[in-house]
Every structure is written in C-alpha cells, then in structure tokens.
A and B are shown apart, each in its own frame.
Chain A
Amino acid sequence: MLLEQHSRILHRVCRLYARTPADSEDLAQDITLALWRAFPSYDPARKFSTWMYRIALNVAISHLRRHKPALPLSATTEPTILPSSQIEELYRLVAQLDPLDRSLVLLYLEGYSFPEIGDILGISATNASTKLTRIKQSWKESA
C-alpha cells in the first residue's frame, strides 16, 4: 500500500509538528484520515510523496494552530549517525521555527530540491532557497 511505503513522511511530519507523544498520535490519525479522504482525487501522474507531503503539512499546520504548543518531542529514538545529543538539539531548533519555515526545513531535510519544495509549499524555488539561506544565517547568528 502506498501509505505504508511512504510512512516515513508521516513520521517526519509528526516528529516536527507534534509536541507530545499523545499529540503525535492525534496528528498521525488526522493526517491518515485526510489522506484517505483525499485519495480519490490523487492524480497518479504526479509524484505520490509530493501529494502526501502537501496534505500532511496542511493538516499538521492546522493541527498546530488548534493545539497550543507543549513540550517538543524527543529525538532520541532515532537511529543515529550524528551524536544523539546533537540531533536532539538540531530538532529542538527546527521545532522552534514557525510552522511554515518548519515545513520548508523539513522538506529540505528530506532531500527535496528547491523547485519541489516550492511546488509543495506554493512559493517560487528562488523564494524557498532565499528563505532557507536566511534560516541558516539566523541559526549561525544565534549560535
């Protein structure tokens, strides 16, 4: 099943937009329901992951507006290449971004190109690239 093949997207979005394990479960259910309902309108000519990201991010941003922030989810369960403390710190910084910037960073972390990020978010590739550069810059300044 397509959703199971792309379950990583669900994990990533829940990790960055949910603040507690219970919240993560709610968000995962909301996204799954939205995907199921929207599936009849999915155009197989388009990339499934792009379609899924759009829906997942739209649901996650709306979910975040309805549920006020609590504590960020821990990143320690993730298999590591970087030291886990460093990964946790990086995720914490990503979680502090506003929801739209967070979606941009999430897509960048997933390896999407700027035109693809622009397509998912509804902005130009140049705009996506400029924003990411600004985010990186602001991290450097705050470090």
Chain B
Amino acid sequence: MNHPLDQLARHCQSDAHSESTLPPAALAALRLIRAEKLLTRLPQDLIGELVGWAAFALLMGNLLWSQRNIYALLSHIYAVVMLALTVREWVAARDLDLAAPVTLVQQRLEALSLLRIFRLKFAILGGIILWAPLAFVLFEALSGRPLAINNLWLIANLVFGVLIAVATVWLLRLYPQANRIARALSGESIAEAERALAQLHTFQSE
C-alpha cells in the first residue's frame, strides 16, 4: 500500500465527509428543475425535425402521385431517406439510458454521433445534388404546369451539383476547423468518433 495512488485513496476515504454540501452550480440547476423550466427541453429535441421530414415526405409522395416523373421520384426518395434517418436517430436518442454501464453508454453515444453525422452529410450533399429536381417538382406543383426541361441542362446541373459537393468536401478537408457542419462534411467528426470507439474497445478488452 505504498503506491502514491493508494496514499491518495486513503486520503480520499478518510476525507469522506468533508464535502457535505452540493456545489452552488448544482443547487442552481436543481432550483431551475424544480421550477420545471428545463424539463421539457432535452427529451424531444428531434421531434420538430421528425415532424418536418414526415410532412416533407408526405408532400413529395403526393406530388409523385400527381406528377409521376423521375424528378418527383428522386425528391420523394430523398425525403423518405431523410425521414428514415431521423427516425433512427430519434429512437437511438430515446433509448439512451445514462444509468447503464459507462462503456456501454459511451459506445451508444458514439454510435449516435455517427448517425447524426451521416444524416447531416446526406441532408447537405443530397440537397446540393437534388436541388434542381426538387425545384422542378415544386414549380409544377405551384404553377400547375410542368417546366420545359432541357435534358442536357438537367444533366449538366446534376454533374455541377456533384462537383460542388466534391469540391465542398475537399475544401473542408483543408480547413476543417470552421464549425460542426464543416467537421462532419470533412470526415473529421467521423474519424474522431471512430477513434473514441476504438479506445472503448481497447478499454473493454483484457
């Protein structure tokens, strides 16, 4: 028992009753909770997004039914995939139990983080590529007549969208410090989450 850590352990345990009051910050948080100001905030953060994507998918489904063209189909697929990804993230967030063992919770948090990054990337990169078909579908829905589309222009636009997406990712890889979105698009957040998962795996192994 001569190791410094054992000395510190004896110190901590002998000092067990020296900290009998909560820190002021914790007491402040408790008062806020008692006033029920914060109870409703966190649990359903994703509900708004879920409702939004569900409404968008329904709208695109209706437009697909009435327009029956490839642009409406692409737009509907985009909306449905976004809805599915949001549902998946919401379920993962809802099922998270912070009272579960630490390594398990941390693994689930990292998995949740990966889901969030994937959804963000899909929303942005998919949006860049599919904005033209979406615009056609919405134009026809609002004006009641299809837009005269030059196929060559559409293909050029899709290619342009892909190039913009690739260029965005490439530029953000050079400057990934910008913000959360930049870090997600550049792959930095994914690499960070994967590193954390690898650390957890190592910690769990004997």
Contacts and interface: CB of A to CB of B under 8 A. Distances in A.
How big is chain A's contact interface, by range? 35 or more
B33 A55 contact: no
A96 to B, nearest CB: 13
Interface in B86-126: 97-106, 109
Interface centre among A4, A42, A94, A140 (most CB of B within 10 A): A4
B5 to A, nearest CB: 6
B28 interface: yes
Given A28-B23, A127-B204, A100 B103 contact: yes
Interface stretch (B7-15, B45-53, B146-154, B159-167): B7-15
B206 A29 contact: no
B145 interface: no
B25 A29 contact: yes
Interface residues on B, range: 35 or more
Majority DSSP secondary structure for residues of A touching B = helix
Contacts of A86: 4, 7
Main secondary structure on B side of the interface with A: helix
Contacts of A90: 4-5, 7-8
Contact of B99 (A38, A101, A108): A38
B29 interface: yes
A61 B30 CA distance: 21
Contacts of B98: 34, 38, 54-55, 58-59
A136 B22 contact: no
Nearest to B8: A90
Interface string A99-143: 011010100111100000001111110110011100110011000
Given A7-B21, A57-B102, A103-B102, A36 B5 contact: no
Interface of B: 3-5, 7-26, 28-30, 33, 38-39, 42-43, 97-106, 109, 196, 199-200, 203-206
